[in-house]
Structure 1
Amino acid sequence: MTTSRRRFLRQSTQIAAAGALLPTGLAAAPPSSVAADTISVALIGGNSMGWADLTSMLKNPGVRCVALCDVDQNVLNKRAAELEKMTPVGTPPTKPVLYNDFRKLLENKGIDAVVIGTPDHWHCLPAIMACQAGKDVYVEKPMATTIDECNLMVAAARKHQRIVQVGQWQRSGEHWKAAVDFVRSGKLGTIRTVKTWAYMPYGKTFPVLPDEPAPAGVDYAMWLGPAPKRPFNRNRFHGSFRYFWDYAGGLMTDWGAHMIDMALWGMNVTAPKSVVAAGGRFGFPDHAGETPDTMQVVYDFGHFTLLWEQAIGIARGPYDREHGVAFIGNLGTVVVDRNGWELLPETDNGQYLLPAQPPKRMYGNDLDRHTRNFVECIRSRQQPNAPAEVGRNVALHAHLGNMAYRLGRKLVWNEATQTVVDDPKATEMVKAHYNSPWQLPTV
């Protein structure tokens, strides 16, 4: 045993012994097999953000990928080949174990942490089962497709003392933190409303396609998993799955999970009093998909309102930004997006009510900061920047917004009982309904 490993194990024991002093939800138990200099990770879901998360994580010293899992053999083979090419010159090529079933992967005791980059309807089960298997979890946003699932994921992280980081990587961005610090300083005066939005230029073409056989190499039954059984359709598969209610929640649970999270962070709130929404498929009514291309949602917190706006196929959003958050106070407004933040002072009789300052620009890579934070927390057992509770809170807002839109009425939320007041149909939508034989695990 090396000196560094002895020191790591001694520190881990001290951390575990101090567990009773840690904040609620903070993991205290270290992984059973993590050495100070090596963390073995596995990827479940190898497309898009799952792959981006993994490759970002691998930039950290001592992190290695030991396993890949995907229900599409084509994706699995492609990522395995790419991973081999990423191996530094002079070292043996990386040859991860390949799996088609995440349950088999979780039986691998050599894995310390998993990255879950699957479609949204496949976030909850692997995350909970990974916690039960003693593995730390980096799970893409939104945390899950229902509020019920999110609550179970929080419970699993706490019960099994796992580090869970949700892929809301603005939480690790330096300029986002600076903007939030300014908002919380009180310099804006009374903040009466917060605007959040995503006006995305993509999605102008999304033609309806016929059902067809699943491509060779795709385990389509496994891809569907807990979702309703339907014939294979390319529009519902890679990438564009997020525009169908069976698997996701459109722009609201995609970009909304990022931008609304920043509003909650800045205002230090966790749940609304009520939600109302309006919108529809106004821009492209003949497109495939089910989620709205245009929508506004208003959340009432009692002392301020939060507005979400979304649009597909156009990019000139509020403040001429395609995405962002605006904290609007009596003395000025802070506007922040992934490129930076700026202060827009109010004026009175030709005088600024706040000292003007130049815009602050983003620097560095916030995704890399977020995955590095996850790696550091695996070792330190400290709370990560976007723990399960943070993922749950923004998913709550996203789902309530979509529910208000789909039901066409105002929803009053009771955080204590996790129900919509006097609305059995909405409260039923809070719950997870899985296709047999899949069932939610008991936590």
Structure 2
Amino acid sequence: MKRKDFLRNAGLLAASGALWNTGLFANNQQTIKVGLIGVNGMGWANLTALLKVPNVVCTALCDVDERILDKRIAELEKLQTTKVKRIIDHQELLKGDLVDAVIIATPDHWHCLQMVDAVNAGKHVYVEKPIGNSIKECEAMVAAAQKHNSIVQVGQWQRSQQHFADAIDFVHSGKLGKIRLVKAWAYQGWMKSIPVKPDEAVPTGVHYDRWLGPAKKRPFNPNRFHFEFRWFWDYAGGLMTDWGVHMLDYALIGMKAADPKSIMASGGKFAYPSDAAETPDTLTTVFEFDDFNIQWEHANGIDLGPYSRNHGVSFIGNNGTLVLNREGWEVIPEGDRMQAIALQKSKDNGLEKHMVNFVDAIRRNDRTILKAPIEAGANIAIFSQMGNIAYRTGTKLYWDKAKRSFTDKSANNYLVANYENGYKLPKV
């Protein structure tokens, strides 16, 4: 499923639009001023969804690539009459009363610094997933949000979709019987090999040092820029954190689980061994709990995943299996132990409902009604990062919940990302 599919057709937009006419905002005409940090890809999708909520305007766009920044400013002028400020440094966007809330959709290695800066400045935040690029970053982000009692919504918009909630209600009903194994996966056939390219001069209009931020200083290479940053450890965690936070999130919700006892992972660059990416294109990870396992698997260049779906999560019980993804959910019986349930298709727009929820929480000043609060985003980002750490160490790891660390000291070297170029992990 490509990212363009996040915004559905007009019929689905009408379904989410109905929520706006139920009185949710009828008695509150406060205009919310929003700034977007990171205007490409999901950042733009997030903003256009948010602007559909009544009395929300964008007052600032911020990006380190002036080429895309200018393009988005021109596009924004067609969506609203409010003038927008053009900004390179996110700190400028956070000054004064220019914005009430920000969307952070920069590469993962910037999320922690920008989110903490935003709540320190008294702003509400919508931050893309995964919320951080290391376990300690996630913990710092939670501490900062709680310290300021900020409204922080994480971009796990599936938590706002009704069919996901319905599926989990069925899992919790007990009708599947004892669940011993949960599988989650992302088989992404459209993710092709990244050919090796030489370093080159920084493109005109790109503030490359600002883009690198706390990451290791390297020459500019187009393979590491914009969308492809996901496949390099300096900036992100590959499919394990890019898609794992979506599917594994529902594995944990369904099982009412959080911290695993152990984690082991095996995989590598099996599809494209000589291409430019660092993260594995093929991976299997097993998270052990007291009486069940959660298994993650991903594969680039392949679409035919389990149950003929390219992404999803399945709860495998003694009586039957529930299979869930963005398209809907169904139940496959184990023999005659239960009745089959045909595919219950998705009927709403998760991203737009997620934005309605975000705005509602801001206007009510009530972070408890958020569908994806910072604590939930941190929990699943940390969980996914555990899988990457197990892969990178090549060791079966054991997690000490009380100490918030691994029993293997070498694995603890991955708890925090390396901060360079004068940047430091925020202390809260």
Picking from 389, 403, 419, the partner of 1:434 is 419
Q: Which runs of 5+ in 1 are unaligned?
A: 1-34, 88-92
Picking from 46, 59, 64, the partner of 1:53 is 46
Q: What residue number does 2:387 align with?
A: 401
Q: What residue number does 1:15 align with?
A: none
**For the Cα contact (< 8 Å) 1:278–1:295, is it kept in 2?**
yes
Q: In the alignment, does 2:57 pair up with 1:64? A: yes
Counterpart-to-counterpart distance in 2, 1:95 and 1:67: 8
**For the Cα contact (< 8 Å) 1:341–1:361, is it kept in 2?**
yes
Moved over 2 A (4+): 355-358
Give a deviation string over 1:109-140, Cα, whole Å, max 9, x none: 23111000000001000101111111111000
Q: What residue number does 1:76 align with?
A: 69
Counterpart-to-counterpart distance in 2, 1:36 and 1:390: 30
Q: What residue number does 1:342 align with?
A: 330
Q: What residue number does 2:78 align with?
A: 85
Tell which structure's C-alpha radius of gyration is larger.
Answer: 1
Counterpart-to-counterpart distance in 1, 2:120 and 2:30: 24
Matches within 5 A, 1:5-154: 36-87=29-80, 93-154=81-142
**For the Cα contact (< 8 Å) 1:80–1:95, is it kept in 2?**
no
**For the Cα contact (< 8 Å) 1:83–1:94, is it kept in 2?**
no
Give the aligned residue type for 2:71.
Answer: K
Give a deviation string over 1:280-327, Cα, whole Å, max 9, x none: 000111111100010000000111100000000010000000000000
Alpha-carbon deviation of 1:255?
0.6
**For the Cα contact (< 8 Å) 1:37–1:62, is it kept in 2?**
yes
SS in 2 for 1:130: helix
Alpha-carbon deviation of 1:36?
4.2
Give the aligned residue type for 2:395.
Answer: R
Q: Which runs of 5+ in 2 are unaligned?
A: 1-27
Q: What residue number does 2:254 align with?
A: 266
Counterpart-to-counterpart distance in 2, 1:408 and 1:221: 33
Q: What residue number does 1:389 align with?
A: 375
**For the Cα contact (< 8 Å) 1:36–1:379, is it kept in 2?**
no
**For the Cα contact (< 8 Å) 2:66–2:205, is it kept in 1?**
yes
CA RMSD of aligned residues (A): 1.0
Q: What residue number does 2:364 align with?
A: 380
Give the aligned residue type for 1:431.
Answer: V
Give the aligned residue type for 1:271.
Answer: D
Counterpart-to-counterpart distance in 1, 2:95 and 2:338: 58
Give a deviation string over 1:12-36, Cα, whole Å, max 9, x none: xxxxxxxxxxxxxxxxxxxxxxx74
**For the Cα contact (< 8 Å) 2:124–2:150, is it kept in 1?**
yes
Q: What residue number does 1:295 align with?
A: 283
Q: In the alignment, does 2:172 pair up with 1:184? A: yes
Alpha-carbon deviation of 1:269?
1.1
SS in 2 for 1:239: helix
Counterpart-to-counterpart distance in 1, 2:60 and 2:403: 40
Counterpart-to-counterpart distance in 2, 1:413 and 1:325: 23
**For the Cα contact (< 8 Å) 1:140–1:167, is it kept in 2?**
yes
Give a deviation string over 1:334-357, Cα, whole Å, max 9, x none: 10010000011111xxxx211222
Counterpart-to-counterpart distance in 1, 2:254 and 2:323: 12
SS in 1 for 2:410: helix
Q: Under a length normalisation based on structure 1, what TM-score does the superposition of the two structures give?
A: 0.89
Alpha-carbon deviation of 1:95?
1.9
Change (3 A) 1:432 1:207: closer
Give the aligned residue type for 1:61.
Answer: P
Counterpart-to-counterpart distance in 1, 2:275 and 2:63: 29
Counterpart-to-counterpart distance in 1, 2:71 and 2:192: 29
Alpha-carbon deviation of 1:372?
1.1
Q: In the alignment, does 2:347 pair up with 1:359? A: no
**For the Cα contact (< 8 Å) 2:109–2:234, is it kept in 1?**
yes
Counterpart-to-counterpart distance in 1, 2:397 and 2:239: 20
Counterpart-to-counterpart distance in 1, 2:151 and 2:251: 24
Picking from 386, 406, 411, the partner of 1:420 is 406
**For the Cα contact (< 8 Å) 2:217–2:421, is it kept in 1?**
no
Counterpart-to-counterpart distance in 2, 1:282 and 1:358: 36
Identity %: 54
**For the Cα contact (< 8 Å) 1:257–1:394, is it kept in 2?**
yes
Count residues in correspondence. 399
Give the aligned residue type for 2:167.
Answer: A
